[in-house]
Structure 1
Amino acid sequence: MDYRIEYCLSCHRCLGEARCAIEDDDMAALAGKMMATDALILGSPVYFGNVTGRLKVFMDRTRWLHMRKNLLAGKLGAVVTHAGLRQGGQEITQVILERFLISHGLRLVEPRGPGRPIYNTGISGTLFDAVDQGRFRWKKSVLDDALTVEMCRALGRNLVDLGASIPGSGKAFSDSVIDKEPGDAFPGSVGLWPARMKSNQDTHS
Structure 2
Amino acid sequence: MQVLGISGSMRKKGNTSILVKEILSRCEESGIRTEFISLSGKKISPCLGCEKCKEKKWCVIENDDWDEVMQKILKCDVLVIGSPTYYFDVCGHLKNFIDRTYSLYHDRKLAGKKGVAVAVHANKGASRTIQTLEGFLSTHEFASLGAVKGTGYQEGDVLNDAEALRRAQKIGDKIVRLLKPNHD
Report the 3-state secondary structure (helix = DSSP H, G, I; strand = E; otherwise coil) of the residue aligned with 1:25: coil
Does the CA-based 8 Å contact 2:115-2:144 persist in structure 1?
A: yes
1:71/1:164 CA distance change after superposition, 3 Å? farther
Does the CA-based 8 Å contact 1:5-1:27 persist in structure 2?
A: yes
User: Which residue does the alignment assign to 1:84?
Assistant: 122
User: Which residue does the alignment assign to 2:24?
Assistant: none
Higher normalized contact order (CA 8 Å, seq sep 6+, divided by chain length): 2
Report the 3-state secondary structure (helix = DSSP H, G, I; strand = E; otherwise coil) of the residue aligned with 2:110: coil
Q: CA deviation at 1:140?
A: 6.2
TM-score by length of 2: 0.72
User: Which residue does the alignment assign to 2:73?
Assistant: 34
Question: Which of 140, 148, 155 matches 1:123?
Answer: 148
Give runs of aligned pairs for residues 159-174 of structure 1, distance below 5 A. 159-164=175-180
1:157/1:140 CA distance change after superposition, 3 Å? closer
| Counterpart-to-counterpart distance in 2, 1:102 and 1:159 | 18
User: Which residue does the alignment assign to 1:96?
Assistant: 132
Matched positions, count: 144
- Sequence identity, in percent? 33
Gaps of at least 5 residues in structure 1 are: 111-121, 129-137, 172-205
Is structure 2 residue 165 aligned with structure 1 residue 149? Answer: yes
Tell me which amino acid in the other structure corresponds to 1:79: A
1:38/1:10 CA distance change after superposition, 3 Å? same
| Structure with a larger share of its residues in strand | 2
Give runs of aligned pairs for residues 24-63 of structure 1, distance below 5 A. 24-63=63-102
Q: CA deviation at 1:95?
A: 0.9
Q: CA deviation at 1:139?
A: 10
Does the CA-based 8 Å contact 2:44-2:64 persist in structure 1?
A: yes
User: Which residue does the alignment assign to 2:109?
Assistant: 71
Does the CA-based 8 Å contact 2:151-2:157 persist in structure 1?
A: no
Give runs of aligned pairs for residues 2-17 of structure 1, distance below 5 A. 2-17=41-56
Does the CA-based 8 Å contact 1:73-1:105 persist in structure 2?
A: yes
User: Deviation above 2 Å: which 4+ runs of structure 1?
Assistant: none
TM-score by length of 1: 0.65
| Structure with a larger share of its residues in helix | 2
Tell me which amino acid in the other structure corresponds to 2:173: R
Does the CA-based 8 Å contact 1:35-1:72 persist in structure 2?
A: yes
TM-align CA RMSD: 2.2
| Counterpart-to-counterpart distance in 1, 2:68 and 2:92 | 20
Gaps of at least 5 residues in structure 2 are: 1-37
Does the CA-based 8 Å contact 2:42-2:65 persist in structure 1?
A: yes
